Chain A
Amino acid sequence: MSEGEKTKPEATLTDNGPGGTGSTVSAPGVPEVERRQRPRPKISTTPPAPPPPPKLDDYAPIIGKPELDDLRFLARQLRGKTVKMVNSTAVGGGVAEILNRLVPLINELEVATKWEVITGGNDFFEVTKGFHNALHGGEYAVTQAVKDIFMMYTEQNRQRMQFVEDLFVIHDPQPAALIASKERNRGRWVWRCHIDLSNPHPEVWRFLRPFIDQYDAAVFSSPAFSRQLAIPQYLFYPCIDPLSEKNKDLDESVVQKVCDDFGIDRSRPIVTQISRFDRLKDPVGVIQAYKLAKKYVDCQLVLAGGGATDDPEGAVVLQEVMEEAADDPDVIILNLPPWSAIEINALQRASTLVIQKSVKEGFGLTVTEGLWKSKPVIAGAVGGIPAQVIHKLTGVLVHSVEGCAYQIRYLLTHPEYAAQLGKNGHEHVKENFLMTTNVKRWLLLFQILLGTTRPHPPEEG
């Protein structure tokens, strides 16, 4: 769900629980269906003020003091160096969310880091949205007009911005052509690509590639998302912030209250999928798997997410989900507003199992969130999920409704095994997918590019 939207309606709770009072959930373009409804959850209709960003020392209880010492040592060698990060939006979207946490932490380590945002008209962002979709494999015509718009706004931004730092990190394709300023200064340039480039539209890639080739290094979220390039490519997994509203520890009373508000019975197993109502997340397949599993084991299914209010397709998918759930009182469907981080956190913590049965996925940060909360995770083997869910070690991977159903049955009837998966999953996230790990990766990359250190070869001689 995107951040920063202020006029969303209150969360809609949709289920068929015995305490329901009977009401409707409406979706644009689809017929209204009679539904019983539990009492409305008490969620603010406007986003709460964001909490102040955490300080580095706040992470000590999570990652340990030695890890913080490592960060401070790496940063000390970069004192006096300056960094500029550039992306295309200050609010909304995953990149802005990451930079909101990353930049203050690097500054706290006394590596002076600025974050700047490019500007452009609607025509520019229409072009970059077209590029974005085309780089994911969609169709797009790269006309001369498209190229001109892209280059005109790039040039405007180049004139407006100053490039006097030692190191520049340019996020995603929108500002990629700022590399033209490289000639003017001594800095090193990194392109941080957050999207999957494995199957780009050839014409769009042909247009962008000459810019990318001028960078000193590129950073991708997965080896599978990268391209063959002449420049060094590094792997930075996406990450979660363990102190964010969505991931911080919660008092038991908060978890209980959220479950009470949503009519979830914590005395019985809870199986949860958190995701937008999107066919690529296969929520209907999750209900089918739940139904198959329920022949053998008792459980409730919670499907919570957003996207059904502002996205016509999401509303259609929500309707399909409701139809598949039919009158089962143990299927609880929640269409939450974008500012429901605490509620999502509580739902994940209350869950016995977490599911992410995607049929196509980017990295799948909801998987990371479930693993971080030490939950046994059942997930589709797509996108970045296999990097997180190592089959039968940090969770289980599935390829079908039937496989998902079997794993629900197995994990609910083998709690010790499920607990071990959850424990391993938590450690996996702690080692590889936390914000602090990414701070360390950036410091290492800065050191390597600025020549403040020389990596050790694996073998002497």
Chain B
Amino acid sequence: MAQFTKLPITRLVHPTKFSFPRLVRHPFEEENVFMATAEMPAVARRWAGAPFYFNSAAHLIRIGREKATNLAELLEALKVCPDQSIFQHTFQTLREHHFIREGFSNDFAHWAFSACNEVGLAERLAGIDVREFTSIATLRQRLVDIVDAYLKHNPRARERSAFEPFYFSAAEVIVIPTPFVARNLAEFTDGIRQVSLHSIHYHFIDARLRLKLNSNDFSLWLENELGLGRLADRINRIDIYTSTLHDVRRAILRIVESRLG
């Protein structure tokens, strides 16, 4: 845990926040605009209560039993496929196609568009933001609801053959440690710069399911261990659907470096 007493009192704009629970708002938050440049190096050197261990993840794809040749079959398969399949076709596809900025929010949306030519359904499915979901069950239900509602309004689309089948698959994930550890903001920046994109995906996107929070590992650590809640918020707002993972890395660095001055 960070030692509050070691910090110069001039940093504090809202001293009353000292009494706030730590996980809600750190007292020496960086919204102190006026303290900016002169204090920046100190922010970089501030020691975290606990270090941040950068991990990565490797994925092996298992071919699933479910297959859909039309939207009615997709709906049924969505209801019964394993959780790992929902994970694979939503969270994981963002990793596999991390270099694409547009049009690839999840595999179901892409298939509805490219193989079924159901643009309306594709748009609705593409509108799902996986960041809002902290459990596979609720994400699955949202997918089922969208397809079900669409087919009720468009019954002729139910049995129309897709141009190519949708094959469900599932990811088996193995977490891999990396040599990078951050104990302050400077080391964190260094880690972000050097780790693989798979590590960025693991901490920034996969993390939501692990944490069961609408947050990510980076933001949580910055807020909890360094008291940089606003920085954490700004990082959490990076749009993963209009950015590649390279862009995400660059955006995190830009946000952190702007804080460091």
Interface residues of A (CB under 8 A from B): 64, 66-67, 69-70, 73-74, 220, 223-224, 226, 228, 232-235, 381, 386, 390-394, 423-424, 427-428, 431-432, 440-441, 444-445, 447-448, 453, 455-460
Residue B165 contacts which of A224, A235, A424 (CB distance < 8 angstroms)? A224
Q: Which partner residue on chain A sits nearest B165 by CB separation?
A: A224
The reply to whether B175 and A456 contact each other, CB–CB distance below 8 Å, is: yes
Residue B196 contacts which of A66, A233, A392 (CB distance < 8 angstroms)? A66
Interchain Cβ contacts under 8 Å between A and B, 29 examples: A66-B195, A69-B178, A70-B56, A70-B58, A74-B174, A223-B64, A224-B164, A224-B167, A228-B65, A233-B62, A234-B61, A234-B63, A235-B63, A390-B114, A392-B103, A393-B102, A428-B97, A428-B99, A431-B97, A431-B99, A441-B60, A444-B174, A448-B60, A455-B60, A455-B173, A455-B174, A456-B174, A458-B209, A460-B209
CA distance A73 to B58 in the complex (A): 11
The reply to whether A74 and B58 contact each other, CB–CB distance below 8 Å, is: yes
The reply to whether B103 and A393 contact each other, CB–CB distance below 8 Å, is: yes
CA distance A112 to B163 in the complex (A): 44
Residue in B58, B110, B173 with the greatest tally of chain A CB atoms within 10 Å: B58
Report A-chain residues with C-beta under 8 Å of the C-beta of B171: 458
The reply to whether A223 and B169 contact each other, CB–CB distance below 8 Å, is: yes
Report B-chain residues with C-beta under 8 Å of the C-beta of A458: 83-84, 86-87, 91, 136, 171, 173, 209
Residue A460 contacts which of B56, B194, B196, B210 (CB distance < 8 angstroms)? B210
**Cβ of A428 to closest chain B Cβ, rounded Å:** 7
Report A-chain residues with C-beta under 8 Å of the C-beta of B172: 444, 448, 455
The reply to whether the CB of B221 lies closer than 8 angstroms to some CB of chain A is no
Interface residues of B (CB under 8 A from A): 56-65, 67, 83-84, 86-87, 91, 96-100, 102-104, 110, 114, 135-136, 163-165, 167, 169, 171-179, 194-196, 198-199, 209-210, 212
Report A-chain residues with C-beta under 8 Å of the C-beta of B60: 234, 441, 444-445, 448, 455
The reply to whether A234 and B62 contact each other, CB–CB distance below 8 Å, is: yes
CA distance A456 to B84 in the complex (A): 10
**Cβ of A239 to closest chain B Cβ, rounded Å:** 14
Report B-chain residues with C-beta under 8 Å of the C-beta of A74: 58, 174, 176
Report B-chain residues with C-beta under 8 Å of the C-beta of A455: 60, 172-174
The reply to whether A431 and B96 contact each other, CB–CB distance below 8 Å, is: yes
Report A-chain residues with C-beta under 8 Å of the C-beta of B212: 460
Report B-chain residues with C-beta under 8 Å of the C-beta of A381: 163-164
Report A-chain residues with C-beta under 8 Å of the C-beta of B97: 390, 393, 428, 431
Report A-chain residues with C-beta under 8 Å of the C-beta of B174: 74, 444, 447, 453, 455-456
**Cβ of A63 to closest chain B Cβ, rounded Å:** 9
Residue B194 contacts which of A66, A70, A431, A432 (CB distance < 8 angstroms)? A66
The reply to whether A440 and B58 contact each other, CB–CB distance below 8 Å, is: yes
Contacts A224-B164, A458-B84, A458-B86 aside, 16 further interface pairs with beta carbons under 8 A come to: A67-B196, A73-B176, A74-B176, A223-B67, A228-B65, A233-B63, A381-B164, A390-B114, A431-B97, A432-B96, A448-B60, A453-B174, A455-B60, A455-B174, A457-B83, A458-B91
CA distance A382 to B178 in the complex (A): 39
Report B-chain residues with C-beta under 8 Å of the C-beta of A453: 174
Residue in B61, B198, B209 with the greatest tally of chain A CB atoms within 10 Å: B61
**Cβ of B208 to closest chain A Cβ, rounded Å:** 10
The reply to whether A232 and B62 contact each other, CB–CB distance below 8 Å, is: yes
